[in-house]
Structure formats: structure tokens, C-alpha cells
Amino acid sequence: MFVFKLTTGRCILHTGDFRASSDMESEPIFWNNNIDAIYLDTTYISHKNNFSTQYESITRAKDIIKDFRSKRPAERVLYICGSYVIGKERFWTSIAQEFDLKVWTEKHRLKALQAMDLEEVRGLLCDDPMEAQLHVISIGKVSYHSLVEYFQPFKTQFDAVLAFRPSGWEKNTKSQLRGQINVVGIEYSEHSSHAELERFVTYLKPHEVISTVPVIQGNPCITPKIPEKWYKYRNLKSRHRNFQPSITSFIKFCPRQLNCNRNTLSKSTTMCITPTKSPEGMANNLSQLSVCAMATCREVRNQDVSAAKAMNDLPAIFTLYPDKDAFDDWLS
């Protein structure tokens, strides 16, 4: 991803093709910067496109391999993974490392991998496809009929093919297990699911979100609309630099009737702090607290109680729910 800080003060984020995760929320660059605009990868913006995490998808592929091996222990298996020129590296490197497989791939993809110089790829690649147990080929070739032809030169070296087609579009697809040629679709994507996009945008609360993926192929001017509820802050336009919510934006105060008798003051003087979704009255939260505190002090003063004695008689001016004990310990 790219973050652009302009001389005008605007801060723009371009995600490129990306898979959002909660780990990104710990990136320091997002802590002290208000993002004005996001150019967002909306490949799977449709609410129907929620799928497994990459870790879950990789684990499923490993389980399929283990099950396949247990049922056909004597067979020499050629594993195949579909990919683009770049992408899917995490998927096939995890499989290769788990089962100690050598990897072969086509020349144009090999050049790209060498240029990226990925640490997890080093030591896995080999030049001879006959020596490699895992082939990474174009994802368009990973179909039953294409693999029948692809497998012909390798029949003397291997007994069967187990091929994976990792894609976000593979959700609910049926595996093709036909003896010698076996094809399995795995819902795995380098793009964010709908739920991941929502969490990412909601976390950053930008002023504007621009989709970078056209709805109609060939027409970049028609892009999907981003749900405004993801980044519009309550009744305000956005969490922009002119708006800085405080902790009192998310709580409300419920002052109870004060009874300032010295013998009962510590037990009856309370103030409840509870979560609220209503934006009304947020500006009055601190003033309510001040009024309650001043009223308490006024009643104590009228009874000629010294400040020191008053503090001893007030082990808890407030009661914080639900963690009352922690608040009392802190106050004392």
C-alpha cells in the first residue's frame, strides 16, 4: 500500500490489490494520521463475497493433501497449484514447506519471483520439472481437461495429479476427483472479502473512498458505491481532522440524587457511566460531571467538613460499572 502526504496537508492511501486484516490496524502510520481519501480495492465488495481467511484456506489444502496421501500411500503424486504471474506465493510456499516439496514454475513467473527475491521462496525452486513434486502454472490451465494433456510428459515419473485452483471465486465449488487427475477449488484470495473491507474502512474513517475496480469490464468509469455507513461518523460527515472524538463521546453520565449526610455520603453518592449509541448530549457529558462534583463539594462545605476529612469520607464519589472494584481501588 502507498500513503501520500501532500503539501496541502491531505493524506491519501492507495491500497492496490490487498487483503485487509486486523494486523494492519497496528501499523504506526495509521495512528497519528487522519486519512482523507482511500483508493480501495473493491474486487469483492458484494455482500455475498465473504470467504475464509488465507490461513484457513491453506490449512484446508494441507488437510486435503494428508487425506489424499493416506488413501493412496503408494502413489507418486504430482501437485499442481494455479497462479498468476505474481500472487498465490503464500499458498504454494506453505504447501511446499509443509511437505518438503521442490517447486518448478514457468519462465516468465520464475523471472518475477527472482525479481521479488522473496525469502520464503529461496531454496524451494528447481529448474527441472521432472525433479519437482510441485508445479506452479497458470491458473487458467488448472482444469480437468487441460491437466489430462499437461500430465502426459510426466506419466513415467508420477502416478497421479492433485491440483489446486486457489481463488476467491471458488467458494462452494465441487472438487473433481477422477482417479488419476484430481482438481480441487480452494477459496483463497489476495483480495479482501466484504467483511474485511468493511472493518478496514470503518477503522480508518476516511473523508472519501474511491473504488479502483470497475463494475463493468472495460469501463473504468463505472465503479461500485462504497456504503457510507462504513466511514460516515454518526450524524457527522466523517472523522475528519476537524473532529476529534473524546472518551466522553462514547459514554453517558447518569447522576443519581445526592445525599450528603456525613454518615451515608460514601454509600449514596454515585454516578453511573454506561455505554451509549446516542450522539445527543455528548457535549454535555463533562459539564454534567462538573455540576455533580460541585454539588457534592458545596454540600460538604455547608456541613463544615474540612477538605481532608471530606476526602476521607468519600472513598468513592463515582461508581463505575461494570468494574466497580477496580475503580474503587484506583480512587482510594
**Same domain as 35, residue 58:** no
**Same domain as 270, residue 207:** no
Q: Is residue 118 part of a domain?
A: yes
Mean pLDDT is lowest, of 6-20, 247-261, 275-289, 306-320, for 306-320
Strands ordered across the beta sheet of 103-105: 103-105, 134-138, 77-83, 160-167, 181-187, 176-178
Whether pLDDT at 279 is above 60 = no
Residue 50 has a pLDDT of 84
**Same domain as 32, residue 107:** no
**Same domain as 281, residue 297:** yes
**Same domain as 169, residue 206:** no
**Same domain as 308, residue 211:** no
170 pLDDT band (50/70/90 cuts)? confident
Residue 179 has a pLDDT of 85
46 pLDDT band (50/70/90 cuts)? confident
**How many other CB atoms are found less than 10 A from the CB of residue 301?**
13
55 pLDDT band (50/70/90 cuts)? very high
Residue 172 has a pLDDT of 77
Residue 169 has a pLDDT of 83
83 pLDDT band (50/70/90 cuts)? very high
Q: What is the CATH number of the domain that holds 43?
A: 3.60.15.10
Q: Is residue 269 part of a domain?
A: yes
Residue 246 has a pLDDT of 54
Residue 144 has a pLDDT of 93
Q: What is the CATH number of the domain that holds 64?
A: 3.40.50.12650
Q: Is residue 112 part of a domain?
A: yes
15 pLDDT band (50/70/90 cuts)? very high
220 pLDDT band (50/70/90 cuts)? low
245 pLDDT band (50/70/90 cuts)? low
**Same domain as 205, residue 176:** no
Does the pTM surpass 0.75? The reply is no
**Same domain as 270, residue 221:** no
C-alpha pair distances (Å), 293 with each of 9, 154, 289, 330: 41, 83, 6, 18
**Same domain as 300, residue 221:** no
Whether pLDDT at 320 is above 80 = no
148 pLDDT band (50/70/90 cuts)? very high
> What is d(CA 19, CA 50) in angstroms, rounded to the nearest whole number?
12
Whether pLDDT at 101 is above 60 = yes
288 pLDDT band (50/70/90 cuts)? low
Q: Is residue 109 part of a domain?
A: yes
> What is d(CA 136, CA 232) in angstroms, rounded to the nearest whole number?
43
| Mean pLDDT calculated for residue range 269-291 | 48
Whether pLDDT at 324 is above 80 = no
329 versus 31: the higher-pLDDT residue is: 31
What is the average pLDDT score of the chain?
78
**Same domain as 252, residue 305:** yes
297 pLDDT band (50/70/90 cuts)? very low
Q: Which domain holds residue 123?
A: 54-187
Domain end (from 171, 187, 203): 187
**Same domain as 124, residue 62:** yes
Q: Is residue 238 part of a domain?
A: no
Q: Is residue 18 part of a domain?
A: yes
The tally of domains found in the chain comes to 3
Q: Is residue 239 part of a domain?
A: no
| Mean pLDDT calculated for residue range 29-33 | 84
**Same domain as 174, residue 225:** no
- Category of 251 on φ-ψ map: left (φ > 0), alpha (ψ -120 to 50) or beta: beta
Name the residue type at position 97.
Q
Whether pLDDT at 17 is above 50 = yes
Q: Is residue 240 part of a domain?
A: no
Residue 236 has a pLDDT of 46
Whether pLDDT at 11 is above 60 = yes
